């Protein structure tokens, strides 16, 4: 759920780019076109994914699965994704304007989630088969790598970076050493961090991302209630689909509200979305009975929750790759502590107990229901409280955003005037 961080439109970060253009310089993100960066990330991802599959296969054959090698491969695989994701978001933001940017990010979320669903189903179906003596799960690794290569090549050939399209502009870009690029990146990052609205966005993003990371325990909770693997997969799939449609709706609504309320429209929408999570999660986790016969009711609440809690995800600012990377790094690092926290709360606070071996079916069912109740309380603690804080933090944007936006506009005008005088 790492792609569900709640961000809002913050136009003032464009002042960083405006300053560089006004001074005749170029942003660090434009030293190499965004489509090239995105293609590089996809190609890097394939090497790590395929290599990880080969390592697991080799170690599994020897009955000695090396966790360290797998962990290293997963880490390197994450580097590829970390390269591609901010570049992709920046490319989409730069290819749209204020009137349709939210809808574009809604489509990005929708297609990404649908791809995850299809990929998950295909991997499950392939895993139990073999082709020419090759285990299906190993083929799944290489298929992911192959698709990454195809996407990387297509992006490199056909994706268009509107800020890096003129060959004459490329010729005017001064050559910089790697050390100079790093220094420029650090300097620009410091300027971004000083912006009040960006600080608020990161703060709300940390709390807003926390529940989505915690929900990695939701499938386990559904199975402890008594739902079969198939029903659990179905319920979670319709939740993801509902989220995708909700993101598309939220993106369009954000565009409409941004026209009518430029300084507060997307903020209002994000607060409504974050606030609706609190009662809906309470109904799902604490009110509905822990009974497998209530599949329809659970599914209905999951659909409503998915449709209404994902409006803020596509409402993303028009920013550069470095800004996206900074925002995601802060949010993802801190929200990664959510799953361990849920486990600690469930086991040490709410009484979750591992099922002992040798219990009868009836005793095991009773234990599972008790554990489901404990896990539900832990999940709501890690969902309701962070979302309440997230909604509260959003309120500060009503004060900082208009001020920072006006400051960015003035700096942009001053920079343009200085550039004209320089000519």
When computed from its CA atoms, the radius of gyration of the chain, rounded to whole angstroms, is 24
pTM for the model stands at: 0.71
The DSSP-derived string for 100-128 is THHHHHHHHHHHHHHHHHHHHHHHHHHHT
Per-residue pLDDT reduced to its tens digit, 3-22: 444 444 333 434 344 444 43
Give Cα 175 to chain centroid, integer Å: 34
* Across 261-269, average pLDDT: 87
- Report percent pLDDT > 90 for the chain: 18
Task: Name the nearest CA neighbour of 78 among 328, 390, 405.
Answer: 328
Q: Could you tell me which residue, 399 or 149, shows the higher pLDDT? A: 399
Q: Mean pLDDT lowest for which of 93-97, 173-177, 196-200, 380-384?
A: 173-177
Per-residue pLDDT reduced to its tens digit, 55-64: 444 444 444 4
Are residues 326 and 189 in contact, defined by beta-carbon separation less than 8 angstroms? Answer: yes
Q: Could you tell me which residue, 119 or 317, shows the higher pLDDT? A: 119
pLDDT above 90: residue 172: no
How many other CB atoms are there within 10 angstroms of residue 110's CB atom?
21
Q: What pLDDT, on the 0 to 100 scale, is given for residue 189?
A: 74
Are residues 267 and 203 in contact, defined by beta-carbon separation less than 8 angstroms? Answer: no
As a whole number of Å, the end-to-end CA separation of the chain is 49
Phi, psi of 267 (to 5 degrees): -65, -45
* Across 349-355, average pLDDT: 88
In angstroms, rounded to a whole number, what is the distance separating the alpha carbons of residues 244 and 183? Answer: 39
Q: What pLDDT, on the 0 to 100 scale, is given for residue 334?
A: 75
Q: What pLDDT, on the 0 to 100 scale, is given for residue 61?
A: 44
Q: Tell me the pLDDT band of 281, cut-offs 50, 70 and 90.
A: very high
Q: Could you tell me which residue, 106 or 304, shows the higher pLDDT? A: 304
Q: Mean pLDDT lowest for which of 4-18, 159-173, 236-250, 252-266?
A: 4-18
Q: Mean pLDDT lowest for which of 26-40, 86-100, 181-195, 206-220?
A: 26-40
Pairing assessment for the beta strands 134-135 and 130-131 based on DSSP bridges: antiparallel
In angstroms, rounded to a whole number, what is the distance separating the alpha carbons of residues 1 and 310? Answer: 11
Tally: H helices and E strands in the chain: 16, 2
How far apart, in Å, are the Cα atoms of 308 and each of 251, 272, 303, 390? 12, 9, 9, 16
Residue 346 token pair: 């469930």
* Across 350-377, average pLDDT: 86
Residue 223 token pair: 């199975």
Q: What pLDDT, on the 0 to 100 scale, is given for residue 314?
A: 43
- Which residues, including other chains, have CB under 8 Å from residue 340's CB and lie 6 or more apart? none
How far apart, in Å, are the Cα atoms of 183 and each of 29, 36, 139, 190, 229? 13, 22, 42, 11, 51
In angstroms, rounded to a whole number, what is the distance separating the alpha carbons of residues 78 and 41? Answer: 10
Q: What pLDDT, on the 0 to 100 scale, is given for residue 171?
A: 52
Q: Where are the alpha helices (DSSP H) in 261-360?
A: 265-282, 295-308, 321-335, 338-344
Q: What pLDDT, on the 0 to 100 scale, is given for residue 254?
A: 84
Are residues 306 and 240 in contact, defined by beta-carbon separation less than 8 angstroms? Answer: yes
Q: What pLDDT, on the 0 to 100 scale, is given for residue 333?
A: 75
Q: What pLDDT, on the 0 to 100 scale, is given for residue 344?
A: 92
């Amino acid at each position: 759920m790492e792609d569900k961080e709640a961000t809002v439109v913050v136009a003032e970060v464009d002042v960083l780019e405006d300053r560089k253009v006004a001074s005749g310089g170029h942003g660090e993100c434009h030293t190499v076109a965004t489509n090239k960066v995105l293609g590089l990330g996809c190609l890097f991802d394939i090497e790590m994914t395929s290599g990880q599959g080969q390592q697991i296969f080799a170690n599994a054959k020897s009955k000695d699965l090396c966790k360290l090698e797998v962990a290293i491969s997963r880490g390197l695989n994450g580097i590829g994704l970390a390269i591609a994701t901010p570049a992709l978001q920046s490319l989409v933001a730069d290819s749209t304007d204020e009137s349709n940017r939210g809808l574009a990010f809604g489509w990005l979320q929708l297609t990404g989630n649908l791809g995850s669903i299809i990929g998950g189903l295909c991997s499950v179906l392939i895993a139990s088969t073999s082709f020419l003596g090759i285990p299906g799960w190993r083929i799944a690794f290489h298929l992911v790598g192959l698709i990454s290569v195809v996407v990387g090549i297509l992006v490199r050939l056909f994706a268009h970076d509107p800020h890096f399209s003129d060959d004459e502009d490329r010729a005017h870009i001064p050559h910089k050493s790697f050390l100079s690029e790093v220094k420029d990146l650090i300097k620009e990052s410091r300027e971004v961090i000083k912006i009040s609205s960006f600080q608020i966005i990161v703060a709300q993003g940390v709390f807003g991302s926390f529940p989505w990371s915690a929900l990695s325990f939701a499938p386990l909770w559904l199975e402890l209630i008594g739902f079969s693997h198939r029903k659990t997969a179905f319920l979670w799939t319709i939740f993801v689909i509902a989220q995708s449609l909700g993101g598309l709706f939220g993106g369009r609504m954000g565009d409409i509200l941004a026209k009518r309320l430029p300084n507060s429209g997307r903020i209002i929408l994000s607060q409504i979305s974050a606030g609706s999570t609190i009662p809906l999660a309470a109904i799902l986790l604490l009110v509905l009975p822990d009974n497998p016969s209530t599949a329809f009711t659970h599914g209905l609440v999951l659909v409503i929750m998915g449709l209404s809690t994902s409006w803020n995800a596509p409402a993303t600012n028009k920013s550069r790759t470095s800004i996206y990377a900074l925002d995601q790094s802060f949010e993802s690092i801190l929200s990664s502590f959510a799953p361990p926290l849920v486990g600690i709360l469930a086991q040490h606070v709410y009484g979750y107990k591992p099922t002992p071996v040798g219990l009868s079916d009836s005793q095991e069912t009773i234990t599972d229901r008790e554990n489901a109740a404990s896990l539900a309380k832990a999940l709501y603690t890690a969902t309701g409280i962070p979302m309440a804080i997230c909604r509260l933090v959003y309120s500060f944007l009503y004060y900082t955003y208009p001020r920072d936006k006006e400051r960015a506009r003035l700096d942009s005008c001053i920079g343009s005037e200085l550039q004209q005088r320089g000519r």
